[in-house]
Amino acid sequence: MKRFKKILKWTGITLVVIIAGVSIIAATRQNTKYEAPYPDIKASTDTAIIAKGRHLVLNVAHCVGCHSPANVDSIDFNKEDLPLTGGRLFDLPVGKIYSRNITPDKETGIGRYTDAEIARALYYGVHPDGTVVYDFMPFHNISKEDMTAIISYLRVQKPVKNKVPENTLNLVGNLVKAYMIKPVGPNGEIPAAVKKDTTAVYGKYLAMSVAECNGCHTERNLAGEFTGEPFGGGAPMDENNGFPALTPPNLTPDPTGRIYGWTQEMFINRFRQGKLIPYSPMHWSSFKHMTDDELKAIYNFLHTLKPVKTKERK
Ligand code: HEC
Ligand code: HEC
């Protein structure tokens, strides 16, 4: 009995020491600085390139959905340029994270940064100050042509001063950040340009690298790693404060898939209708403005996928 108590005591002391150690190391690791290359990207003043950037920012890459504090569903922002002042709160189990001010304000926005610093943050997940960018924006493989257009559009926006609150992580968040979060970068060489047509090749690029359809329609674990079959349906998304969770459906060409039997016209028309379930997290109000050709390309790509049976859920 005495011996047992002794073991218990030492286990307890060891545990306390380990926990203290882990927490101290976690604390010192909160502001780890990372190295990453500065991409060779320069904003252009060409109006055609800026117009392309606008289409990407508002519609296909839906930056506006996260970087505007407005309720984008209620606004036809294809007509209006909403200020991308950031500050939208993502209240996650690991803490509170805010989108940043990406208007050209020199004090609180991207006016402080060079084109290469902005491109580095998006391609390599490293903020201009060297800290990690939480991977909300997997645009790591977007073409240099499209990245140039995006930054060109951001540069000509009206600067708006808006200091976004600092992110605050809880204990779990600090541990996750210290030991699990690393900057995410491109896989392979960043393409200079991707041919814009209606092929599955372009559709794959749009769905995976620009519109991020796979981020929701493929199942992922809590660390964000893909665990399910590509486009076989996502995990239920329970972020709607009291509304029932919605599950991103299976988009593969399987009879149990949501778009099985849909013609290309039906697919395009569904997008033109925009958001039908008012609390859906899908960025319908952006995606509804994708061009017919972009939607055809995505449709064609989805039909090249391996058919996957929809997972039964209780
Ligand atoms: C799903 C939501 C989401 C989308 C979509 C999104 N962002 Fe972000 N963005 C964020 C969040 C959240 C942060 C803050 C991340 C952090 O604190 O590490 C951020 C940070 C940034 C930063 C870093 C700024 C800085 O001060 O370091 C830039 C630049 C940026 N976003 C640009 C864009 C552009 C351009 C697009 C569209 C091509 C876009 N974002 C789309 C959520 C999003
Ligand atoms: C932020 C997560 C998210 C992203 C990104 C996303 N979706 Fe969805 N999607 C959902 C959810 C949740 C639903 C179910 C609720 C609804 O229908 O709005 C859905 C439903 C759908 C439906 C079925 C609509 C219907 O009426 O039956 C289609 C088709 C679809 N998504 C295609 C896409 C495509 C293509 C993309 C990329 C351009 C995409 N989604 C991006 C979450 C997402």
Average pLDDT score over residue span 165-184: 89
Average pLDDT score over residue span 152-175: 94
β-sheet with 95-98: strand ranges across: 89-92, 95-98, 168-169
Atom number in ligand 1 closest to CA 154: 35
pLDDT tens for 249-286 read: 999 999 999 999 999 999 999 999 999 998 898 999 99
Ligand 1 contacts CB of residue 97 (under 6 A) = yes
State the helix-helix crossing angle for 2-28 and 171-179, rounded to 10 degrees.
70
Phi, psi at 46, each rounded to 5°: -65, 125
The residue whose CA has the least distance to atom 34 of ligand 2 is 213
Contact between 282 and 216 under an 8 Å Cβ cutoff? The reply is yes
pLDDT tens for 51-105 read: 999 999 999 999 999 999 887 777 776 677 889 999 999 988 889 999 999 999 9
Instruction: Name the least confident of 19-23, 57-61, 216-220, 256-260.
Output: 19-23
Closest CA to 151 of 13, 52, 273: 52
Q: Rounded to an integer, what distance in angstroms lies between the CA atom of residue 242 and that of residue 265? A: 34
**Closest ligand (CA of 301):** 2
Task: Tally Cβ neighbours within 10 Å of residue 157.
Answer: 20
Judged against a pLDDT cut of 90, whether residue 49 lies above it is answered with: yes
What pLDDT score was predicted for residue 2?
67
State the helix-helix crossing angle for 144-155 and 115-124, rounded to 10 degrees.
130
Q: Is 124 left (phi over 0), alpha (psi -120 to 50) or beta?
A: alpha
Average pLDDT score over residue span 151-170: 96
**Segments making up each domain of the chain, as ranges:** 47-179, 200-302
The residue whose CA has the least distance to atom 3 of ligand 2 is 282
The residue whose CA has the least distance to atom 42 of ligand 2 is 282
pLDDT tens for 137-150 read: 999 999 999 999 99
pLDDT tens for 117-131 read: 999 999 999 999 999
Contact between 252 and 305 under an 8 Å Cβ cutoff? The reply is yes
Pocket test for ligand 1, best of 34, 66, 153 (most atoms within 8 A of CB): 66
Q: What is the pTM of this model?
A: 0.92
> Comparing 303 with 72, which gets the higher pLDDT?
303
Give 3's DSSP letter.
Answer: H
Contact between 234 and 219 under an 8 Å Cβ cutoff? The reply is yes
What pLDDT score was predicted for residue 16?
74
Distance 152 CA to ligand 2 centre (A): 29
